[in-house]
Structure 1
Amino acid sequence: MSRRPRVKLEQPIAYYHVMNRTAQQEMYLDDVHVPGFKQVMLDIFQEAVSVFYVNILAWVIMDNHYHLCVEVQKPPKDPEDLKLRFERLQEINVNKRRWQPELVNACYKRFTDLSEFMKSVNFRTAIAFNKARETSGHLWGARYNSKVIEEETGLLKVMCYIEHNPVKAGLCKKPSTYPWCSAGRLKLRLARGGAVNFPAFDFLRRVTGKSRARNYLKFVDELADRLHGSPFDPDLDIESCELPIAEAELEEWRQQFASRAPENWSNQAFGSEAFQNQIALLEQTKAQKITKVRQEAVKRRRFDPGDQTQQKS
């Protein structure tokens, strides 16, 4: 059976939820197999972001899997910027290459491709894991899962869903207290007075700078308490977070999180029904094109008189 075609949007900015599990879902990412490996993974994520046109908006590393919410950009082609990214890649590559102007198109195609980003991350984490253990073999199981996210209806939900993973696993009561998720690292950076460049999404545009980050943290923590902590408290004032979510929406969030809708990989979209139908149509069209190409290739082999594999001995 052929692999399911992966839907990737050809537009200036697209958002995805991606997840990858370890082989046999073993707890390879804990501190027993390789002490400090979660930090190694985080460093690899950050290095990949410096090369690819990808921003990680939310992330969590658990003991046997990780989640990322990413923004994939397709900006205008800039040869100088591509050269800089290529040179960053050579700094971490074993086999070094020199920049050539004719590499512009190939680098642009690679650096704006989600699959290439994930391939780089998973390859480098596997190499680091095996090197630390002086062994060989697979770190990751099946190919990574992905969903296209509709910004208006799904982005904030997916980010919160990712942040809530350690809460649901019983590792903490608030995402901001777990050191291996974006909320925990964001809180630590704010506490240290570090620079924070939190993205100005539509639901955060009315506040600026560190206020956006603080409001996001407060919202994520309060929502975790509402959805996974104590029984539903209608008196809890969610408006104090300065994030626009209507009271009537909370039950929908609760149901979607309980059913794990953001990581229901049977479909490749998360958002409104219309958006899901749009992505399903794209997937169907892509599958039909792949099938047609394969059928034509079979016909060419079957009727090519020069194809020795088709001639009887």
Structure 2
Amino acid sequence: MPRPRRTQISIEDTPYYHCCSRVVRRAYLCGDDSFSGKNYDHRRGWVESLLMKLEAIFAIDVAAFAVMSNHLHVILRIDIDTANNWTDSEVLQQWHQLFKGDDLTHRFVKGELVAPAEISILKHTIATYRSRLCDISWFMRCLNEPIARQANQEDNCTGRFWEGRFKSQALLDETALLTCMAYVDLNPIRAKMTDTPEQSDHTSIQLRIRAAIKGEQPKSLLPFSGNEVNTNNKNLPFSLKDYLTLVAETGRIISHGKRGLMSEESSQLLTKMHIPSDNWLKLTTEFGRLFRGPVGTLEELTCYCEHLGKRRRHFSWCCQHLAS
């Protein structure tokens, strides 16, 4: 039985969550449709464009994403500090970029006087919007619903576009985050849609590589902290160079079956994350099958379950894959 999303989110344990949505009706609603002979790749562009728009509105960062032919992967980081630091006016301005709001919220944003009787209503509304703007469920709702309506309009039909609720799993430590990011970024190579990460359209890895060539990082994606000590816990706790090298080398192995030795940079990163090199390929190619729930060490999973009031540590057997 599906569990309420609130029983899967624990900011106290981790701000990082891997979300996945799949399409329904036929196998390829975003790519080549062999039944009709049409190509729907432009819909992948719809998803990427809206994803980047929502990242700028919500207090939620995008760490990685891959828009595939029949499903979407995205790794999100909940930025609760940004949401709490927004002024009341800023909260409403962010919300009004997505929804119309009402006369009261628009008058407040314009600086007009609010009647004393309306203050409590306004405060409750702002608190609700502030909470929603750092809520993964609302983020995915604002991503999936417009895409579904747009696709149905193009197909001149009604009904579901996405296959039920999106799936989400907590990434409880840095090892889980690194493994899941690589898994997401290597999706097109595993699916044999391309041979190299830089050719992977509609993915975060392609955006990062293009920006790295210019000595930059994409403004729309959560940045890497670099080799220095990570003093900003909002950044990804890895070096961008090391991560790109690791993904490129792993992609080469998956694409061409060349099981050569990893470079020193990649080996050092895996050692730092306590991941045996021999286990890395299995983790990045079978992540979706190996991990059915929260991902992390048994200790992290225990804390996660305690904070959510869970009596049982479901999926605890998955922990062995990161420890082996």
TM-score interval, normalised by the smaller of the two chains: 0.7 to 0.9
- 1:111 is displaced (CA, Å) by 0.8
**Offset at 1:143?**
1.1
Cα offsets for 1:188-230 (capped at 9, x unmatched): 34457776346455675469x9x95454323211122245533
1:225 is the counterpart of 2:224:
no
242, 252, 272: which one aligns with 2:297: 272
1:83 aligns to 2:92 (yes or no): yes
Tell me the amino acid that sits aligned with residue 98 of structure 2. Answer: L
Residue 145 of structure 1 corresponds to: 167
Which residue does the alignment assign to 1:170? 192
Q: What residue identity is the alignment partner of 1:9? A: S
The CA distance in 1 between the partners of 2:27 and 2:16, in whole Å, is 29
Structure 2: which amino acid aligns with 1:279? Y
**Residue 76 of structure 2 aligns with which residue?**
70
Map of 1:45 onto structure 2? 51
Tell me which moved more, 107-116 or 241-250.
Answer: 241-250
Unaligned runs of 5+ in 2: 33-37, 109-121, 313-324
Look up the SS of the partner of 1:56 in the other structure.
strand
2:284 match: secondary structure: helix
Task: Map 1:210-249 onto structure 2 (within 5 A).
Answer: 213-227=240-254, 229-234=256-261, 236-239=262-265, 244-246=269-271, 249=276
Residues 274-313 of structure 1 aligned to structure 2 (within 5 Å): 274-281=299-306, 285=310
Where does the alignment leave 5 or more consecutive residues of structure 1 unmatched? Answer: 288-313
Given that 2:25 and 2:161 are in contact with CA atoms closer than 8 Å, whether structure 1 keeps it comes out as: no
Q: Give the deviation of 1:178 after TM superposition.
A: 0.8
**In structure 1, C-alpha distance between the alignment counterparts of 2:291 and 2:270, rounded to whole Å:** 26
Q: CA deviation at 1:18?
A: 0.7
Higher CA-based Rg: 1
Aligned Cα root-mean-square deviation (Å): 3.3
Check conservation: 1:62, 1:166, Cα contact below 8 A: yes
Residue aligning to 2:317: none
Given residue 27 of structure 1, which amino acid in structure 2 is its aligned partner?
Y
Range with greater deviation from structure 2 (195-204 or 147-156) = 195-204
Identity %: 17
Contact 1:158/1:262 (CA < 8 Å) preserved in 2?
Answer: no
What's the offset of the Cα at 1:80?
A: 3.3
Does structure 1 residue 57 correspond to structure 2 residue 63? yes
Give 1:104 shift.
1.4
Structure 1 residue corresponding to 2:127, chosen from 71, 90, 105: 105
Matched, 1:257 2:262: no
Number of equivalences: 277
Query: Residues 71 and 97 of structure 1: is their aligned pair in 2 closer, same or farther, counting only changes over 3 Å?
Result: same
Measured against aligned partners, the alpha-carbon deviations of 1:249-268 in whole angstroms (never above 9, x if no partner) come to: 2222223234x23565632x
Q: Which residue number in structure 1 is paired with residue 316 of structure 2?
A: none
Whether the aligned pair in 1 keeps the contact of 2:180 and 2:284 (CA below 8 Å) is no
- Match for residue 142 of structure 2? 120
- Say if 1:19 and 1:68, in contact at 8 Å, map to a contact too: yes
- What residue number does 1:130 align with? 152
- For 1:4 and 1:264, how far apart are their aligned partners in 2? 20
Residue 30 of structure 1, CA deviation: 1.3
Query: Is the deviation greater in 153-162 or in 218-227?
Result: 218-227
Q: Does 1:27 align with 2:28?
A: yes
Q: In structure 2, do the counterparts of structure 1 residues 122 and 199 end up closer, same or farther at CA, with 3 Å as the change threshold?
A: closer
2:251 maps to amino acid = A
What SS is found at the alignment partner of 1:143? Answer: coil
Instruction: Show the counterpart of 2:35.
Output: none
* TM-score, with length taken from structure 1: 0.76
Cα distance in structure 2, aligned partners of 1:286 and 1:28 = 40
* Cα displacement (A) at 1:145: 0.9
In the superposition, relative to structure 1, how do residues 27 and 204 fare at CA in structure 2: closer, same or farther (>3 Å)?
farther
Cα 1:128/1:144, change in 2 over 3 Å: same
**Separation of aligned partners in 2, 1:242 and 1:205:** 18
| Counterparts of 1:264 and 1:63, CA distance in 2 | 22
Mapped to 2, the partners of 1:159 and 1:24 lie a distance apart of 28
Distance 2:195 2:264 in 1: 18
